[in-house]
Amino acid sequence: MIKVFTIAHVPKHMVQEWLQHLRSFDATHPGCHFEVGMDAPEVSIAEAVSALRIDPALTFTAIYSRKKKGPRHRGPSGPAD
């Protein structure tokens, strides 16, 4: 078995379509297994869960939320990240 790592930068309005594409591939190829993560701090948990409503349904292992953070600063001697 080979692991393939993919990071997709998808416009917000296309997230559900992209996930459906992955799920459809997964459903038609029983030997494949996908682990999907979403990093979207500007999206609410409700919006993220809504985007994950695809057919056949995904099995959830965990949902994590994280605190929104402002820009990081290095201090008086360095620029902001």
pLDDT at 75: 60
pLDDT at 57: 81
Query: 21 Cβ partners below 8 Å, 6+ apart?
Result: none
Q: How far is CA 9 from the centre of its chain?
A: 9
- pLDDT tops 80 at residue 67: no
Largest CA distance in the chain: 56
- pLDDT tops 60 at residue 80: no
Q: Indicate the pLDDT class of residue 74, thresholds 50, 70 and 90.
A: low
pLDDT digits (tens, 9 = 90+) for 8-53: 899 989 988 998 998 899 889 988 888 888 888 888 888 888 888 8
Report d(CA 77, CA 13) in Å as an integer.
40
